[in-house]
A and B are shown apart, each in its own frame.
Chain A
Amino acid sequence: MLSTYPSSLLLSRELPNLDYRLKRDRFDETWEAPLATLLGLGRAAGADFVEFFLERVNYINCLAEDDTIASISPRLSTGAGVRVFRGKADCYVSTNDLTFNGLKAALEKGLSILGLQLPAPNAYIPAINLKLLRDYATTKGKDSWFAGCSSIREMGEVLLDANQQLQLKANHVQSRRATYFRDWQEVLVASSDGTFARDIRLTQSVGFNLLCADGIHRTSIGQRAGSTSDPNFLRAWDYKSTAEEVAESAGKMLYADYVESGTYPIVMANQFGGVIFHEACGHLLETTQIERKTTPFADKKGEKIAHESLTAWDEGLSDSAFGTIDMDDEGMPAQRTLLIENGILKNFLSDRAGSLRTGHPRTGSGRRQSYTYAAASRMRNTYIAPGSYTNEEIFGSIDKGIYCKKMGGGSVGATGQFNFAVEEAYLIENGKITKPLKGATLIGDAQEIMNKISMCSQDLGLAAGFCGSVSGSIYVTVGQPHIKVDSITVGGR
């Protein structure tokens, strides 16, 4: 049933009598009236800014182990979060209750936490004038995405076929796993500055995990691909060639020697190698880090912070990339943000709170895992731009070093110290790749390492990843061409 505005200007005492019946299965214009009323209530209570974030999720995970489907796990989720600002202080309250009274209770709790009181019974509650709904889902045809995705049966069939390919290609197999998830999310943002926006996101990922063992030798190799916006993603997965790559990597790493620890020049492969920039620099360009005073780059805008060969971007616009979003979780359209140009720091990534507290303009980077988190400044698709060198020139510049072909995860701490694991590595001797190595961890200091990325190749590649931080785990893209780091500490045995 459509909700209606009150016939006259609303008095505070009339709030309990409102009868908004909200659609459970779609966020659309019918949510305008209740949200406008609640936003008005928040402002009338004295809040400087109020924002509602509504979310519905239909998620499914499918796991194939060896030749059986081990689990099919659907998850249905609905919830909302309300953020209230008073000055530079803010409060975030989340709830599963999407009824008008449930949302009102969450708002009241937020107001009371900030010391704000509801208007007196005779006070008028002026509804906020929300802008025309900016509906990315409808204008971009996303409402049909869910129906176009693979069925449960198709998920199972693809994963079992894929696992069979792994068995055919690999040796000394101890266990094979193929995993897939589909995360369908509908969001609605309404805030007291008039923002009113809806979007649907479809994020999917598929991958292998292969464990091989031969006596005391063991190796586990994982590989994952991810996409947004493509209902046909699973159908298009080229699992035959992926299985071949994974099997080949496992074969090489099974008998690899442990890396000898020390300081080396390294070549880092393209695609997931981009995790070095994500950890060593990307996080430090989020306004969240400026607020916490945990970035050495806080006052360096316009200054040289990296080698002159390095240019880097963060954006939400690449077709189908894992971190692509049409709007952020604060309702702002995504954009392309130049972070570093020829070594000079150009911009930070900012959400609303970060902009309020640091003065850096918003960049459509307010992101969150779900309604249980307030948005924070987070990366989207982040990559080092291609350079002018060839891979041959890069390898040829190294007498003894390490080729980091495949990276694992990593992290950066409060002091700018970062680290990340190398899944697949090789020794470089006299410009050539020689023997495989395992057990390497790279550690360093963000400020130092950015000046040591001295050569960038022309082969930019992107890879899907997951990023955990203050607003939960989100989908991101990392990327880079092949790069050379002049020296870095490599931990090993």
Chain B
Amino acid sequence: MTNIQELANYVRDSASQIGVQKFDIFGSSVDETSVQVDSGEPKQVKASNRSGVTVRVWNENNNVGVTSTTDVYPEGIELALKTAYEASFFGVKENVPDFSPEALAPITANTETTAPQAPVAELIETLISAEKELLAAHPAIAGVPYNGLSQRDLDRFYLNSEGATRHEARSYASIYLYSKTDEEGKKPRSAGAFRVSRNLQNLDIQACLQEAAEKTISHLNYEKVKSGKYRIVFSPEAFLSLLGAFSNLYNAQSILDKQSLSTPESIGKQIVSPLLSVCDDALHPENIAGETFDGEGTPTRRISIISDGVLTNFLHSAGTAKRLDAKPTGHANIGAKVTVSPHFYHVFSNQPATQTYSLDAAENVIFIDDLHALHAGVKALQGSFSLPFDGWVVNNGKRTSIESATVAGDFLEVLQSIIFVEPEAELTPAGVCPRIWVDNLSITGE
């Protein structure tokens, strides 16, 4: 990791030499190792140690210019500062970004949660063992074409010419296993699972391979599903992927850019079923890779986005907060155009359910486990989606895999058609969420 104080000093010196008085800089450094295996042998091991910084400078007209670089040696930083300075004369004239008013605010959250990395040989042995166990789980499982075990140390920092200095360090390890079947006369089927933890020792590999095996096996006996309208149960992962795809709903920058399904006046309006509440919480205890400050140095925090169906807050950068008379929320990504993005969702219900539902008793519902091709099938600005999925038709607890189908609808209508939010939440890479029941969605099968 580049020494931040050293970096601050030579940024200050370089900036001074080219006549820049006001600047800030955000950077990160990653040290990671990942392994893949194939049929009991290591296939590829990847290791990387790389750094990158983004510098912003304000010129004498108070216009801002930005440049990113991976060259964090003094010559590289100097070139980046010069390039940013040159770009500043073509930067925005209105709503010019400024330092966050909270860049110097104290951070109370723990900024150092690191763990020693395991030897590469241990990673390889662990993954080979997991692959072997998964292949042995069922005779139909013929391979684990996608697999990986990785560990990562991540350092992030922010500093500015007014004295702000932030730094945090995180370690985490993750595994994914994606197995595929091969049976005579049948189409190949596949499914996978993912786990993340602070380090290899705490990674629940058994649970990951058990989930991957169970899901893959559950897709062996598949059938086509008839096209029509169905009651749908979204898995936590599927629901969060939809929520994330339509995050322009509560993204203040998107709203100001008129690239959203919301407007500034949407705050306080009942936009979805009162059964649904959503927070974004970078500091959630389950969020292994949680960030304590954003790209502008603003401390992160728990933000209520939807409370009992009412839109309560937007996610802000310093600039959007200023324009919409709000406070920064710690969601900014530094850049020539500062963007805003969520950290870690927490979905739940505050409302006592007047009617509860269970997959053990439900008839003819479709349980959507995983949505595919969101980059292609989501029309985020129109509110609509049409997406292939993995899932099952469920009848009284019996699950029958669906051969191939799509689910389509309007996201706001989906949110309004929620009939049940299950009480038990699951941890996913995108957040914590229970299963969500929705009525009357279009499924295209045969």
Instruction: List the interface of chain A (C-beta within 8 A of B).
Output: 24, 63, 65, 68-79, 88-96, 109-110, 113-115, 152-153, 156, 174-175, 211, 218-220, 258, 261-263, 291-294, 296, 353, 372, 374, 408-411, 413-417, 419-421, 438-441, 443, 445, 489-493
Which of B139-147, B158-166, B168-176 is near enough to bind chain A? B139-147
Given contact pairs A410-B376, A421-B377, A491-B386, A72 touches B65 in the complex (Cβ within 8 A)? yes
CB pair A175 B259 closer than 8 Å: yes
Given contact pairs A71-B92, A76-B68, A76-B71, A92 touches B45 in the complex (Cβ within 8 A)? yes
CB closest residue in chain A, given B406: A491
Residues of B within 8 A of A109 (CB): 47
Given contact pairs A73-B336, A175-B258, A492-B444, A445 touches B90 in the complex (Cβ within 8 A)? no
Which of B4-12, B79-87, B129-137, B200-208 is near enough to bind chain A? B79-87
- Please measure, in the bound complex, the distance between the C-alpha atom of A68 and the C-alpha atom of B120, giving whole angstroms: 51
Any A CB within 8 A of the CB of B303: no
CB pair B258 A174 closer than 8 Å: yes
Nearest Cβ on chain A to B369's Cβ, whole angstroms:
14
Report the contact-size class of chain B (Cβ under 8 Å from the partner).
35 or more
CB pair B408 A439 closer than 8 Å: yes
CB pair A69 B382 closer than 8 Å: no
Nearest Cβ on chain B to A251's Cβ, whole angstroms:
15
CB pair A72 B87 closer than 8 Å: yes
CB pair A409 B87 closer than 8 Å: no
Any A CB within 8 A of the CB of B400: no
Per the 8 Å Cβ criterion, residues 371-416 of B in contact with A are: 372-373, 375-377, 379, 381-384, 386-388, 404-409
Nearest Cβ on chain B to A152's Cβ, whole angstroms:
5
CB closest residue in chain A, given B33: A113
**One of B65, B70, B180, B382 near A76 (C-beta < 8 A):** B70
CB pair B47 A113 closer than 8 Å: yes
- Please measure, in the bound complex, the distance between the C-alpha atom of A71 and the C-alpha atom of B93, giving whole angstroms: 11
- Please measure, in the bound complex, the distance between the C-alpha atom of A296 and the C-alpha atom of B145, giving whole angstroms: 13
Nearest Cβ on chain A to B188's Cβ, whole angstroms:
4
Residues of A within 8 A of B406 (CB): 261, 419, 441, 443, 489, 491-492
Any A CB within 8 A of the CB of B152: no
- Please measure, in the bound complex, the distance between the C-alpha atom of A72 and the C-alpha atom of B67, giving whole angstroms: 9
CB pair B258 A76 closer than 8 Å: no
- Please measure, in the bound complex, the distance between the C-alpha atom of A5 and the C-alpha atom of B197, giving whole angstroms: 48
**One of A68, A211, A421, A439 near B94 (C-beta < 8 A):** A68
- Please measure, in the bound complex, the distance between the C-alpha atom of A96 and the C-alpha atom of B405, giving whole angstroms: 44
**One of A94, A110, A416, A493 near B188 (C-beta < 8 A):** A416
CB pair A90 B375 closer than 8 Å: no
* Contacts beyond the supplied A409-B375, A419-B376: 10 A-B pairs with Cβ under 8 Å: A63-B337, A73-B335, A90-B44, A92-B46, A94-B50, A218-B382, A258-B384, A261-B227, A374-B44, A441-B406
CB pair A91 B83 closer than 8 Å: no
CB closest residue in chain A, given B145: A292
Given contact pairs A68-B94, A109-B47, A493 touches B67 in the complex (Cβ within 8 A)? no
Any A CB within 8 A of the CB of B321: no
Which of B35-43, B237-245, B273-281, B322-330 is near enough to bind chain A? B35-43
Any A CB within 8 A of the CB of B178: yes
Nearest Cβ on chain B to A408's Cβ, whole angstroms:
5
CB pair A491 B335 closer than 8 Å: no
**One of A88, A414, A438 near B146 (C-beta < 8 A):** A414
CB pair A414 B190 closer than 8 Å: yes
Which 7 A-B residue pairs are closest in the complex by CB-CB distance? A491-B406, A71-B337, A71-B336, A261-B444, A409-B376, A292-B145, A491-B444
Residues of A within 8 A of B187 (CB): 415, 445
Residues of B within 8 A of A261 (CB): 227, 406, 408, 442, 444
- Please measure, in the bound complex, the distance between the C-alpha atom of A225 and the C-alpha atom of B222, giving whole angstroms: 42
CB closest residue in chain B, given A372: B48
Residues of B within 8 A of A90 (CB): 43-45
A-B contact pairs, 21 of them (CB 8 A): A65-B257, A69-B90, A71-B336, A71-B337, A76-B68, A76-B79, A91-B45, A96-B51, A96-B71, A156-B90, A175-B257, A261-B408, A294-B145, A374-B46, A414-B178, A415-B190, A439-B408, A440-B386, A445-B404, A489-B444, A493-B442
Any A CB within 8 A of the CB of B72: yes
Given contact pairs A76-B67, A113-B47, A211-B258, A96 touches B188 in the complex (Cβ within 8 A)? no
Any A CB within 8 A of the CB of B426: no
CB closest residue in chain B, given A218: B382
Per the 8 Å Cβ criterion, residues 55-93 of B in contact with A are: 65-72, 75-76, 79-80, 83-84, 86-87, 90-93
Residues of B within 8 A of A416 (CB): 188
Nearest Cβ on chain B to A381's Cβ, whole angstroms:
21
